[in-house]
Structure 1
Amino acid sequence: MPGGVRVLPTVPTKKNCSVFPFGQLGMAATRATQKKCLAVVCICAAIVLTAQPACAEPFADQPLDSLSQAVVDSLAEPQRTTAPQLLDAVIRATEVDALATALDYFKLLFNLLDKAGDGRLRLLADLGDTTNSATLYQLNRELGALDPRVSPLLDAMREAAQVRRRDPKRLAQAGAALGGGDRSLRLNAANQLSRAGVDAIPVLVDLLQTVDGVKEPARSIAVGLLQNLGNSARQPLLAWLGSDDLAHWSGVIAALDACEAQDIAIFLVAPSLVAGTPPLAQQQATALLKRRAADQSPAAAIDSLRQRLDQLLLPTGRLSADQLLQSGSSFAAADGADRTLVEPTVDRFLWDGKTKSIQRRALPLAAARALEALHLARDLSALQADDSATVRLVLLAQLEATLTLTPNPLTALEQLKPAQLRDVLTGPVGFDVETVADVLDMAVARGMVQAAAAAARALGQTAATGTDQTAPLPPVVRKALVRALDQPDSGLQFEAARALVLAAGDASYPGTSRVVLTLLSAATATGIDRAVVAHSDPAIAQLLATGVSRFGYQTVRVSTGRDAIFAARQSSDTVLVLLSARITTPTAYETVQLLRRQPAGDIPPVMLVVDPLDDDQNGAFLTRKIMKFSERPAVEIVDRLDSFFQPTRNPQTGAVLAKARFPDALLRVAGPQAVVPAMRQTCLMARLERARKSLWLLNELSRRGWDLSAATPIATLALTQEELFAPAIALLSMLGSGTAQQAIVAELDRSDLSLDRKTIALTAFRTSVQHFGVLLESGPLLATYTRYNRATNRESREVIGAILDVLETPRTQLTPSTADAPHSRPIR
């Protein structure tokens, strides 16, 4: 390929996913085929031929020994013209370290694929099928650094082969061929199903469903294939067994028996005991339990399932990534800059009720754990376990699965309708608030914060459902919600406080001050990401603030540890603290300790900043800091070099040599929700929505007569946000202070205030005067009259006149004017 000059004309997107780097995918391909090939197409699209030669410098083989040279010479004759022949030459040349020769054959292979047109996908799949994976990885290791086209092409081979192996139609044809009379066809079919791995399970289960003698040879081969799969078949089969596809349960149980999977007896108890199980499946489950020497009594089954579920839902019992991998899963490959930042995923099989089939999905670790817990919970419900401890575990498992097995777990609670949430937490005797309070405590104790927040929301919703609307929550439930206020999670704190406001009744109870503190803290959000920068040197503080602001943070600079603590507590938008390692008043260690004792809201992650020369002669300062903070969660020791906030560039060309290190450090200290733009925006909007709801809840408490004087500056600040204006102005109208009334008047005086907002503000001012009278001091009152008299335009005069009408209403009510009395103020 002279000069290596070919450029991709189009970058594939979701709307244009059929673009191939070598040309167009076959126009005759069906839409279904294109969907199956999407993964291959997207990977192949990464094979970009740049305008530069493949190697920056000419590359030549080192002198070869006689044996290696003989291998290289044997590759020339006969001439290699097909893709398999060329790939074989690449492999053989690489094995004798003739890398330059291997690259030459690779270029020929690349050119051949370039000209293959519609047959390219088939060629890639053929190459991936006939080449050992270890060989492909070796080629990537040896040649990938020498030619940038090698790695994408090898990935495309693997993906194309994998897509073809998973093709349901091909697998079904192979399953049918197993029962044929042609021995060679049976062997080819068995080999094809073996290479498909767990994706062949649906075909094998269908074979095991049959009972006729004609297909006995095929069933024997299916049993052998399942034995080869071993424990990797466990999870797909259990997912199928946990579905409502009762017709296939007998085949699934037979497959579990054939693969000899470990730890499956506990999942067979319910099918063997529950009425309604198909007779054949029930017999198979019972027989398999006997062979596994498992206790089949209902009481023993319930006890075993409960213990297993209890262990699974404990923090120490959650599956780690290594355990999930050992059970037959693999980490899903990241295919974008953002996906590399999210938590690891594992391949899991889920039952798709729409297609009535098991589908492979990449699930986060928490969702994979919830999937197994949900299966155990369903079995316990089927066995009608009704003791309180088991019921609470079942409800907790159902709740966690509802929140985690969704496309976006961050917004799952907001998307959940009240009726759905109530159904999830409904036990054998119906929805019981004390049981839900126990689930709340259990979730908190096990670190399942989102589930705890959902339980608290369900308790708050009882105030608007059925006969519960007039009955306040029992004291035991109130205590559970108050305990939840102490957890360092703003979402859980808000839901608990909201539930107490809505459903705990008007009477005072221990913890009411914590409710107000939580709502006041949540109301301080204004829809920004805020970072506190604490350094004793103003110049360095400015440098750090400038650096972090490049990543979208609004900064607050302070010079002492004490000021950093108060600045962090000032707003719930504080999501990061940059703290000098040599900060004083108090020290950095004491400051971090106090930051972790936030009275309300989330604990902000801390980046402990060390200076380039921040070490003594023995190099002990930094070592002491590392040892002191090593066991502190959400603390990261960083430097303030230019490369931390800015990319490193080539001084001659300006090309980026290394990206800024700040995002990586932020990922380690704060998690993916602080780095991935979509997740970060979701968290920001969640804080803003909590602020809006908190202002309305504070307004309700003020109407009940609670002292909320501390809310005045918070509500005044919230007036600057469009989303918070209405609840903030309503809260000010119910605070009953001169400062609150003056804030409303100041808002009405704004020339840039829209007509709708002026109407809302005027209504709020009228409400405040009606409830509390005129609380403005004489100075602001005289200033209002002066502005009215000096107003030159009609609009300003009307607005100020409306304010004065409100102010004069109490007087005119006491001393009504006669019909012919002159106007109290000039009207021209």
Structure 2
Amino acid sequence: EEELQPEGAQLSNIIRQAIKQRYDDTSNLDQILTLLESDKPSEQQLAIEELRRKGTPSVIALADMFKDPTLEDRFQTIRRALVIMGSHTRDPLVGYLGSSHEAQVANVIEVLSYLRETRIAAALLSHAIVNDDRTGVGQAARKALVRLVGALPSNQDAEEYLRTRLNYYLEGNVEALPDANMKVAVWNWDNAAQSITIQSYDVRVGSLIDVARVAADLYKLDPENEEYRLMHYRSLLEETKVTNGLDNALDMADGSPGADAASHGVGFIVEVLESSLADRRFPAAIAATEILGDIGSTELVAAVNGQPSLLVEIAQHPNRRLRLAATEAILKLDPQQPFAGSTFVGESLAYFVSTAGVRKVLTGDVTGTKSQFWIGLLGQMGYSGDRATTGRDLVFSALRSSDYEFILVGETIQNPPIQEVVQLLRSQPRTAEIPIAIVSDNPEDGAGARISKRDDATFCIASPNSVDSLLRHARRFLQTAQYQGITINERFEQSERAIRWATMILADSKYEFYNLQRHTKYISEALFTPNISSAAAEALQHIPSPVAQKALVLLASNPGVDVGLRKTAAKAFKESIDKHGTLLTRPEVLAQYDLYNRSLGLDDATIDILGFILDAMEARVSAQPETNSDSGE
């Protein structure tokens, strides 16, 4: 029997492949349709049996035939074939409702009605009421609704039904059934490609896609309703931002959802932003903020009753992507005079520049061995962990760094206790929304459990004893904060963008009101992070500070650093001296001469760079005091 096992497995694999090939094969559809049209019952039965073995590729191939006017005489047969294939045709066919081909949509609607899929009633309401009864789509939708629900609803009934569905989806529910991994398959019509597409999404993303679809239908029913207009564009921007990637800029090309929303004007986009913030729909808020940066004016940064405007306030928002969007929007609007909260912009740029570029978690527990064990688990997950032994140290560390993805803290933490620690973290913009996991011996009824019930971003868990258990928890923590995690590469990209903006500000004296020089320390530290070193060097050359010059010299003089980066730093140092003179102290200057004299045995590139630094200092000699304060800090 053991000798037969490989052959049995091989045979089983061959059978599975044959079944799949038959399932996916669309080459014989024309033959099957001919059999289905036959007067002979035996041939019709053969066609029916073949159709029931067919899969999604055949559904798509048949539905695509509705676009071909030369096949109109066969449309009835195609509809019958799709109905025979059964309920698995429903989801891809619903995607065709967005097609721009009237005949295709009308025929698909008829097929769906014969499948008795009452779940599509909401999708048909706008087609039935908005489209004229004389159109093929309007007629098909009306007949389908009567077939499915027994009557054609009034406009009021349709609105009430759609509002009910909207609230259902806003609560996080989805239309499609999620799979074992809590993913849903979403079918959509791609106008550009003139074809149907399928994409798998997390159920939360699927929910907001359903929200956008129903909100669009409500807006179609009553385009004069301001509430519906607001909900439509808010959900459309949210869906677009999430499905296209939160790390990508909103598409503003003609015909895009961004351009469509922008056409309603600055005032309306501000309303979308306010609504999105109020309901914590941050992807929509990010999209609205990006639009304001493109179409707004400096009026958006003008003080309101002496207080910073909404856009300026958002430059301090705890949501990382939203904060950057607001900061960049303000800079695109290019105010050239001080405004209420203008220092927020510099603080925000410093926040992004200060990224360390690694995935970090902050841990805290009175027992050092526990937090050390957690850090060991985190290390196996690709995280770097920092430790705190008191509540005060934990809060201080969280506020000092912008890199922590979540906080893992023992319930027994003291000085202050866990309740005060969470309160302090939630009261600060930088940590207001960071996920917090409280590790408790009693995760159901302890102090941590009570705190977690009052705060959606705080969790109470049993002490993790393996990488798998901590990984499961971590996924849940991070999902509460965002639809799409922020990768290391995105952090670097955000940091580089911030440095580029900082360079623009520092290079022009008219932007001095941002007071960016006081953040020299963060730009100097960024110089030693390879991914953003070149950008930091360009910014530092514009800062008249000994801190900036010293950082440039240190990097350029370090033989362990990539030669290209060292040359970039050396050139920036020369530019700094040309503009501001030599700001290093005399001992620091003498140290450079000593370094050069001791470098004669090193490689040529190092010698050349060190010589270049000395030449730069000698080209413009300035009287130097014995000591200089680090005024750049």
Q: Which residue of 2 aligns with 1:503?
A: 333
Select 2:44's aligned residue among 175, 186, 196.
Answer: 186
Q: Does 1:544 align with 2:374?
A: yes
Q: Which residue of 1 aligns with 2:627?
A: none
Q: Does 1:385 align with 2:243?
A: no
TM-score, normalisation: structure 1: 0.62
Q: Which residue of 1 aligns with 2:387?
A: 557
Q: Does 1:293 align with 2:152?
A: yes
Aligned with 1:455: secondary structure?
helix
Q: Which residue of 2 aligns with 1:668?
A: 476
Distance 1:354 1:598 in 2: 45
Aligned with 1:241: secondary structure?
helix
Query: Aligned residue pairs: how many?
Result: 609
Select 1:459's aligned residue among 292, 297, 304.
Answer: 292
Alignment of 1:160-179 (within 5 A): 160=20, 164=22, 167-168=25-26, 173-179=31-37
Relative to structure 1, the CA distance from residue 347 to residue 166 in structure 2 (aligned partners, 3 Å threshold; closer, same or farther) is farther
Deviation of 1:224 (Å): 7.9
Paired residues of 1:272 and 1:283 also in contact (CA < 8 A): no
Paired residues of 1:313 and 1:446 also in contact (CA < 8 A): no
Distance 1:620 1:377 in 2: 40
Aligned with 2:407: secondary structure?
strand
Paired residues of 1:488 and 1:603 also in contact (CA < 8 A): yes
Select 1:267's aligned residue among 124, 129, 132.
Answer: 124
Relative to structure 1, the CA distance from residue 233 to residue 574 in structure 2 (aligned partners, 3 Å threshold; closer, same or farther) is same
Paired residues of 1:472 and 1:505 also in contact (CA < 8 A): no
Select 2:106's aligned residue among 238, 241, 250.
Answer: 250
Distance 1:698 1:117 in 2: 60
Relative to structure 1, the CA distance from residue 116 to residue 452 in structure 2 (aligned partners, 3 Å threshold; closer, same or farther) is closer
Q: Which residue of 1 aligns with 2:534?
A: 726
Deviation readout 1:203-252 (Å, 9 max, x if unpaired): 59979x99x999999699779869x85xx876544432221122223323
Q: Which residue of 1 aligns with 2:415?
A: 585
Deviation readout 1:99-158 (Å, 9 max, x if unpaired): xxxxxxxxxxxx3x6457855645xx4xxxxxxxxxxxxxxxxxxxxxxxxxxxxxxxxx
Q: Return the letter of the residue paired with 2:318.
A: P
Relative to structure 1, the CA distance from residue 272 to residue 233 in structure 2 (aligned partners, 3 Å threshold; closer, same or farther) is farther
Aligned with 1:584: secondary structure?
coil
Higher-Rg member (1/2): 1
Distance 1:805 1:563 in 2: 46
Q: Does 1:444 align with 2:277?
A: yes
Deviation of 1:493 (Å): 0.9
Deviation readout 1:589-623 (Å, 9 max, x if unpaired): 2222323344337843333334xxx6xxxx89973
Relative to structure 1, the CA distance from residue 770 to residue 381 in structure 2 (aligned partners, 3 Å threshold; closer, same or farther) is farther
TM-score, normalisation: structure 2: 0.79
Q: Return the letter of the residue paired with 2:520.
A: T
Q: Which residue of 2 aligns with 1:434?
A: 267
Paired residues of 2:361 and 2:405 also in contact (CA < 8 A): yes
Distance 1:121 1:791 in 2: 68
Deviation readout 1:490-513 (Å, 9 max, x if unpaired): 111111111112215122223323
Paired residues of 1:267 and 1:376 also in contact (CA < 8 A): no
Relative to structure 1, the CA distance from residue 531 to residue 493 in structure 2 (aligned partners, 3 Å threshold; closer, same or farther) is same
Paired residues of 2:38 and 2:44 also in contact (CA < 8 A): yes
Q: Which residue of 2 aligns with 1:400?
A: 238
Q: Which residue of 2 aligns with 1:318?
A: 170
Deviation readout 1:742-800 (Å, 9 max, x if unpaired): 22222233233444333322332233334444433343244345555666458666545
Alignment of 1:366-381 (within 5 A): 366-372=204-210, 375=213
Q: Does 1:699 align with 2:503?
A: yes
Aligned with 1:686: secondary structure?
helix
Q: Does 1:568 align with 2:398?
A: yes
Paired residues of 1:460 and 1:500 also in contact (CA < 8 A): yes
Deviation readout 1:381-427 (Å, 9 max, x if unpaired): 87893665554444334333433445xx354x25x55536x842234
Select 1:714's aligned residue among 518, 522, 528.
Answer: 522
> Which stretch of the first structure deviates more once superposed, 497-506 or 783-792?
783-792
Q: Does 1:644 align with 2:466?
A: yes
Paired residues of 1:234 and 1:261 also in contact (CA < 8 A): yes
Distance 1:594 1:279 in 2: 61
Distance 1:738 1:216 in 2: 79
Q: Return the letter of the residue paired with 2:524.
A: T
Aligned with 1:293: secondary structure?
coil
Deviation of 1:479 (Å): 3.0
Select 1:736's aligned residue among 527, 541, 544.
Answer: 544
Paired residues of 1:247 and 1:278 also in contact (CA < 8 A): no
Relative to structure 1, the CA distance from residue 712 to residue 550 in structure 2 (aligned partners, 3 Å threshold; closer, same or farther) is same
Aligned with 2:259: secondary structure?
coil
Deviation of 1:287 (Å): 5.8
Instruction: Return 5+ residue gaps in structure 1 as ranges.
Output: 7-21, 23-110, 126-159, 334-339, 646-659, 814-828
Aligned with 1:661: secondary structure?
helix
How large is the Cα RMSD of the aligned pairs? 4.7
Deviation of 1:698 (Å): 2.3
Paired residues of 1:392 and 1:439 also in contact (CA < 8 A): yes
Distance 2:75 2:371 in 1: 78
Distance 1:637 1:601 in 2: 18
Distance 1:289 1:668 in 2: 41
Q: Which residue of 2 aligns with 1:330?
A: 177
Deviation of 1:686 (Å): 0.8
Deviation readout 1:45-66 (Å, 9 max, x if unpaired): xxxxxxxxxxxxxxxxxxxxxx
> Which stretch of the first structure deviates more once superposed, 501-510 or 798-807?
798-807
Distance 1:750 1:461 in 2: 42
Instruction: Return 5+ residue gaps in structure 2 as ranges.
Output: 624-633
Relative to structure 1, the CA distance from residue 797 to residue 489 in structure 2 (aligned partners, 3 Å threshold; closer, same or farther) is same
Relative to structure 1, the CA distance from residue 504 to residue 538 in structure 2 (aligned partners, 3 Å threshold; closer, same or farther) is same
Q: Which structure carries more relative contact order (alpha carbon 8 Å, separation 6+)? A: 2
